[in-house]
Structure 1
Amino acid sequence: MIRRTSLISTLLGLLALLLWTPGAAHASAPAPARAADGTCAVLAPGASAAAERAVAAACAQVAAGVWYSWGGGHGAQPGATYGQVDPTDPASEHDPERRGFDCSGLVRYAYAQATGSDLLDGDASSQYYTHRAAERFTAGQGLAPLLPGDLLAWGTSDDLHHIAIYLGAGKMVEARKSGTKLMVSDVRLDGDYFGALRVNTGPVTGHVFQTWGTGVWTKAAPSVGATRVYAFPDSTTIRVQCQKHAESVTSDGYTNDAWSYLPDYRAWMTNIYIQGPAWLDGVATCT
């Protein structure tokens, strides 16, 4: 004799079997997580552990509601500081009262937190042209080759005015402008987007030298009359790929016809302003 409870269980099982369709199991499974608008986090795979830590450090400042502050983040050590009044921006009048970051101050802080070393001290231009670049990407390459933690830059070769940290999925974290807090934004590829770079947080490879002088221009070709690319505001660490004899230059009491190619700038510089001998030791001749 079949017990009533067993009979009821059997009938319920048969009913469930009749109602089941092949898609039903899939329909009840949870959908893949998607980043909501404004989510500050690593939004794509493939980044290095250091890059992910840099994103996390920047996003923690977003979560804390930290302000944009012009000049903020450029103290003796990485971290939020009170800003300054930007004479070109009326919205910056309260920046001296706001402890926060400008765009490059946030990048500096994020990578210092990620690595324990102040790798990217300086403004947007010096950060983009860092000798610690592992890889560079042009504006024409878009976002396809980028990974979370890559740095995005806007401006021209001799004046990069903004920099941000890529999150993935077309999003970035940035200190954008006075009167706003740190934020997550859609990447702006229109206008004066210049390109991106991936930061090398490990040992630096290649021939590394130090420049001297102030306002020294790099050139598109090894010639004084060539197009200007970027001016070093003061002494800067550079990476030299090769050198060659070209146009003779006389400056600051020196004459030299040796020029060095700087791959991070895609530009040339007279050896007069590179600390060392007139012809750099150990550096190959450009072919």
Structure 2
Amino acid sequence: MRTLRRGAGLVAVMVTALLLALLPTTAAQAAGTGEQNWCAVQGIASPEAHRAIDAACAEWRARTVYTWGGGHGPAPGQSYGTWDLSSPSHFEETALDPQTRGFDCSGFARWAWSRAAGYDILGDGTAYAMYVNGGRKYQQVHGAGGGKPAVSDMQPGDLVYTAVGGQVKDITHMMIYLGDGYVVEAYQSQLPIRVIDINSRISDNRLVGVTRMPQGGPFTEPTGYDGTLQVTWGTDVAVREHPNRSAGQVTRLSGPDIVYAKCQQRGERVTAEGYTNDAWTYLSNRGGWISNIFLRGPAWLPEVPTCSGADYDTQIGPGGGGNATQGGAYGTWGTDVALRSQPSTVNGTTVARLAGPTSVAVSCQMHAQSVTSEGYTNDAWSYLPQYGAWITNIYMKGDAWLAGVPACDGRGTATPVGAHAYSTWGTGVTIRSTPSTGAGVVTRLSGPTGVAVSCQKHAESVTAEGYTNDTWSYLPEYQGWVSNIYMKGDAWLNGVRNCVIPGMS
């Protein structure tokens, strides 16, 4: 029987190869060298490689950009970058990365293979660390005689590592191999993920090596459950009948696991692994509660709803329910202020009302329904985790977009503390991805809008509305640039720093 199966597999491979040879040349196959306008598995690949490449290509289609340090949060996925301070030129290149969500090269590979394996198989490390860890969770691929592999030795889903000079100690970059001589990579700050022929990336002796992930049976996400897919961490983690440590155990998680988070609420305050938190989440595919300490992500998960009605568990244990956590301490103003289930006065039901000015914690904010009240108009809403509800930022003390509070929906970043509150004028004002009229459109402002400005710089000169100006301002809420022609104020905004720091350009 083993011989029969092996023979059948060989026949299947030969038939597949013959069919591929007879098919007309596809756009992918005909594209040749240079950057490509497609992203997909090329050739025969394992289910795991298909899942990794599917995840990578989804980011390519979304035009997700490179940001230095992106993808290295507590869990795999896009995150805001940081500055590369290794040289003045690198600093200038990454000046906007702290305000940009995306991936660097290793964060990109980490995300793709976490989707394939079902857990964080590569971990939060650099490209160098991921290569030298080969042989523990995954293997290094070698060529003839144990040397460096040739492109013909590579399989779809393999991770390809490069360095100037081709030495392990100098590894600075990694890519995901698609097959047929192509890779997909996050490669340069502020530029989108791309597909390119591998030879253009490993020429001049830049290839260091290749690693291959384990490829056994297919990983299957749990199905048939309510909630948001989350990932746990830690070992021997208890799942309990109620959100307190005295409750009976439903099960124990031996290691990182894929779970469905139905809702979260305040329970018994727990201290473990160096963290303290009173938030607990109900796992519908485990039938019990887990402390949020053991869920990857922030202390209070903004994408997971607050338990209410029949889902709320009153057995919260001692000292529970009192910790606001997450986000900074802010204050509201006004009287009888409505808190809503959604960031909308139309679709959101009233969860509670604040009788007067109240101190609150804010976990995140987002642009949603525009509201006019008390002489102000604003489309920003803040999420208050202790109420499990939204409040229009009109009633939050501070700027229209709160400094230091991240965006719930990934649109833009937390406005840096010290960013300046300004306003635009005009209608149909275009916000662009770079300070150029030829750059991609991020959004358009339908009318005068309150905005935060983190920095400004001289770039393309623009003539519009009877003015000429080469200054552009960066709006972190929108992750884009606007010509200062449309900013109320001077041509060069007073008090706003230069995006290019003198002496570092």
Q: TM-score when scaled to structure 1?
A: 0.57
Matched, 1:42 2:41: yes
Runs of 4+ in structure 1 over 6 Å off: none
- Aligned partner of residue 196 in structure 2, secondary structure: strand
Amino acid at match of 2:62: A
Q: What do residues 37-84 of structure 1 show as CA deviations (whole Å, max 9, x unaligned)? A: 331110121x21101110110110010011100000000000000000
Superposed, 1:22-101 pairs within 5 Å as 31-35=24-28, 36=31, 37-45=36-44, 47-87=45-85, 88=87, 89=90, 90-101=92-103
Residue matched to 1:164: 175
CA distance in 2, matches of 1:140, 1:158: 15
Find the aligned partners of 1:148 and 1:30 in 2 and give their Cα distance.
20
Aligned partners of 1:79 and 1:109 also within 8 Å? yes
**What CA distance in whole angstroms lies between the structure 1 residues aligned with 2:47 and 2:128?**
25
- 126-135 or 177-186: bigger deviation: 126-135
Q: 1:196 aligns with which of 195, 199, 210?
A: 210
Task: Report what 1:137 is aligned to.
Answer: 142
Instruction: Say if 2:126 is the partner of 1:123.
Output: yes
Please tell me the root mean square deviation across aligned C-alpha atoms, in Å. 2.0
State the 1:195 CA deviation. 1.4
- Relative contact order (alpha carbons < 8 A, sep ≥ 6): 1 or 2 greater? 1
How far apart are the structure 1 equivalents of 2:178 and 2:53? 7
Q: Secondary structure at the match of 1:96?
A: helix
Alpha-carbon distance in 2 for matches of 1:101, 1:66? 8
1:227-255 residue CA offsets vs partner (Å, 9 max, x unmatched)? xxxxxxxxxxxxxxxxxxxxxxxxxxxxx
Give, as a single letter, the amino acid of the residue that structure 2 aligns with 1:76. P
- Deviations for 1:201-223, whole angstroms, at most 9, x for unmatched residues? 559xxxxxxxxxxxxxxxxxxxx
Counterpart of 1:183 (choices 187, 191, 194) is 194
Contact 2:162 2:202 in 1 (8 A): no
Identity of aligned residues (%): 38
Q: How far apart are residue 176 of structure 1 and its match?
A: 0.3
The structure with more helix, counted as a fraction of residues: 1
Task: Report the counterpart of residue 400 of structure 2 in structure 1.
Answer: none
Partners of 2:77 and 2:202 lie apart in 1 by 28
SS at 2:156 equivalent: coil
Which amino acid in 1 is paired with 2:174?
I
Give 3-state SS (helix, strand or coil) of 2:39's partner.
Answer: coil
Correspondence 1:248-267 to 2 at 5 A: none
Amino acid at match of 1:193: L
Q: Is the CA contact 1:38–1:185 (under 8 Å) kept in the aligned structure 2?
A: no
SS in 2 for 1:158: helix
Q: Do 1:111 and 1:118's aligned partners in 2 also have CA atoms closer than 8 Å?
A: yes
Mapped to 2, the partners of 1:200 and 1:129 lie a distance apart of: 16
SS in 2 for 1:111: helix
1:185 to partner: Cα distance = 1.4
Q: In structure 2, how many angstroms separate the alpha carbons of the residues matched to 1:178 and 1:129?
A: 25
- Could you tell me how far apart the structure 2 residues matched to 1:160 and 1:43 are? 26
Is this contact kept in 2: 1:69–1:84, CA < 8 A? yes
Matches of 1:172 and 1:164, distance apart in 2: 6
Report the equivalent of 1:146: 154
C-alpha change, 1:75 and 1:143, in structure 2 (3 Å) is same
SS in 2 for 1:144: helix
2:105 is aligned, of 103, 117, 130, to: 103
DSSP 3-state at the match of 1:172: strand
1: CA distance, partners of 2:49 / 2:187: 20
3-state secondary structure, aligned to 1:141: coil
What secondary structure, in the 3-state scheme, does the structure 2 residue paired with 1:185 have? Answer: strand
AA of the residue aligned to 1:179: Q
Query: Quick one: distance in 2 between partners of 1:30 and 1:167?
Result: 19
- Partners of 1:201 and 1:195 lie apart in 2 by 19
Per-residue displacement from partner, 1:85-140 (whole Å, max 9, x unpaired)?
Answer: 11231211111111000000000000111121000011101211221223413574
Aligned length: 174
Unaligned runs of 5+ in 1: 1-28, 204-287
The one-letter amino acid paired with 2:141 is R
Unaligned 5+ residue runs, structure 2?
Answer: 1-21, 218-505
1:116 is matched by which residue type in structure 2? G
Does residue 173 of the first structure (1) align with residue 184 of the second (2)? Answer: yes
**Aligned equivalents of 1:64, 1:136: Cα separation in 2:** 31
Task: Give 1:30 shift.
Answer: 7.3
TM-score under structure 2 normalisation?
0.33
Cross-structure match for 1:238 = none
Whichever residue aligns with residue 166 of structure 1, its letter is: Y
Instruction: Return the alpha-carbon distance in structure 1 between the equivalents of residues 211 and 95 of structure 2.
Output: 33
Quote the residue 1:9 is aligned against: none
Preserved CA contact (<8 Å) 1:142 1:189 = no
